[in-house]
Amino acid sequence: DSGVTQTPKHLITATGQRVTLRCSPRSGDLSVYWYQQSLDQGLQFLIQYYNGEERAKGNILERFSAQQFPDLHSELNLSSLELGDSALYFCASSVSLGQQETQYFGPGTRLLVL
């Protein structure tokens, strides 16, 4: 157990809908990352937050947004969902911004868009 929690574990929804994925980082970790794992794209970095502020963006669609709250948990919002958004979404956390630091991953949220 990495100490990173994600809810829900599974999510089934329809095209056009909006969902929110939640992540609680390890105790004491200030940095949160979101990754998407899909069969065709592999594991891709979406976005990073550090202590409530957006730090870096990767291949994140405009329909997707995220935020990190004062208690350091993070939410990833996916809207106008398409079939291709079906994937496993991981959250990871690290202590701060140090590049030597290890990112610890949560169990993921499996999203299925029908």
Partner 1 sequence: AQSVAQPEDQVNVAEGNPLTVKCTYSVSGNPYLFWYVQYPNRGLQFLLKYITGDNLVKGSYGFEAEFNKSQTSFHLKKPSALVSDSALYFCAVRKNGGATNKLIFGTGTLLAVQP
The residue ranges that bind partner 1 (CB under 8 A) are: 2, 4, 6, 31, 33, 35, 42-45, 48, 55-56, 58, 90, 92, 94, 97-108
Residue 112's identity, in one-letter code, is: L
Could you tell me the smallest distance in angstroms from the CB atom of residue 16 to partner 1? 28
DSSP the chain: --S-EEE-SEEEE-TT--EEEEEEPPTT--EEEEEEEETTTEEEEEEEEETTEEEEE-S--TTEEEEE-TTS-EEEEE-S--GGG-EEEEEEEESSS-TTPPPEE---EEEEE-
Closer to partner 1 at the Cβ: 55 or 67?
55
Could you tell me the smallest distance in angstroms from the CB atom of residue 50 to partner 1? 10
Integer Cα distance of 56 and 48 in angstroms:
5
Could you tell me the smallest distance in angstroms from the CB atom of residue 84 to partner 1? 18
Closer to partner 1 at the Cβ: 27 or 100?
100
Closer to partner 1 at the Cβ: 79 or 107?
107
Closer to partner 1 at the Cβ: 45 or 79?
45
Could you tell me the smallest distance in angstroms from the CB atom of residue 40 to partner 1? 11
